[in-house]
Amino acid sequence: MAVKTLEDLLAEGVSGRRVLVRSDLNVPLDGSVITDDGRVRAALPTIKRLADAGAKVVVAAHLGRPKGESDEKYSLRPVAGRLGELLGADVQLAGDVVGAQAKALTSEQAGGSVVLLENVRFDPRETSKSDAERAELAAELAQFADAFVSDGFGVVHRKQASVYDVARVLPAYAGGLVLAELDVLSKLTGEPARPYVVVLGGSKVSDKLAVIEALLPKVDTLLIGGGMAFTFLAARGHDVGKSLLEKDFIDTARKLLDEHSDRIVVPEDVVVAEAFSADAATDTVSADAIPAGWMGLDIGPRTVEAFAGKIAGAKTVFWNGPAGVFELAPFAAGTRGVAQAIADSAAFSVVGGGDSAAAVRVLGLPEEKFSHISTGGGASLEYLEGKELPGVAVLEEEA
Q: Where are the beta strands (DSSP E) in 161-249?
A: 172-174, 196-200, 221-224
Does residue 334 carry a catalytic annotation? no
Q: What's the rounded Cα separation, in Å, for the pair 262 and 249?
A: 20
Q: Is 378 a catalytic residue?
A: yes
Backbone phi and psi for residue 96, each to the nearest 5 degrees, phi listed first: -150, 180
| Residue 63 marked ligand-binding | yes
Ordered strands of the 18-22 beta sheet: 91-93, 114-116, 56-60, 18-22, 147-150, 172-174
Q: Is 315 a catalytic residue?
A: no
Strand, helix or coil for residue 200: strand
65 in a known ligand binding site: yes
What gap in Å lies between CA 221 and CA 267, rounded to an integer?
14
Residues 6+ apart with CB under 8 A from 385: 210, 211, 214
The answer to whether 175 and 149 are in contact (CB under 8 A) is: yes
62 is in an annotated binding site: yes
Please identify which of the residues 204, 218, 315, 387 carries the catalytic annotation: 204
Within 10 Å of residue 299's Cβ, how many Cβ atoms? 33
Q: What residues contact 36, with CB distance under 8 A and at least 6 apart?
A: 27, 28, 358, 361, 362
Is 24 annotated as a binding-site member? yes
Catalytic residue, candidates 38, 226, 354, 377: 354
The one catalytic residue in 99, 176, 313, 378 is: 378
Catalytic residue among 4, 22, 39, 125: 39
Residues 6+ apart with CB under 8 A from 344: 312, 369
The answer to whether 190 is a known catalytic residue is no
Q: 26 among the known binding-site residues?
A: yes
Helices 377-385, 354-362: axis angle to 10 degrees equals 130
Count the neighbouring beta carbons within 10 Å of the beta carbon of residue 76.
25
CA 300 → CA 238, 280, 336, 344, 362, distances in Å? 16, 17, 12, 20, 20
355 is in an annotated binding site: yes
Q: Which of 7, 356, 366 is nearest to 178 (CA)?
A: 7
> Does residue 375 contact residue 156 with C-beta atoms inside 8 Å?
no
The answer for residues whose C-beta is within 8 angstroms of residue 224's C-beta and 6 or more apart is: 200, 201, 232, 264, 265, 266, 267
Is residue 121 marked as binding? yes
Q: 208 among the known binding-site residues? A: yes
Residue numbers in the known binding site for ATP are 208, 296, 327, 353-356
Residue numbers in the known binding site for substrate are 24-26, 39, 62-65, 121, 158
Active site residues: 39, 204, 354, 378
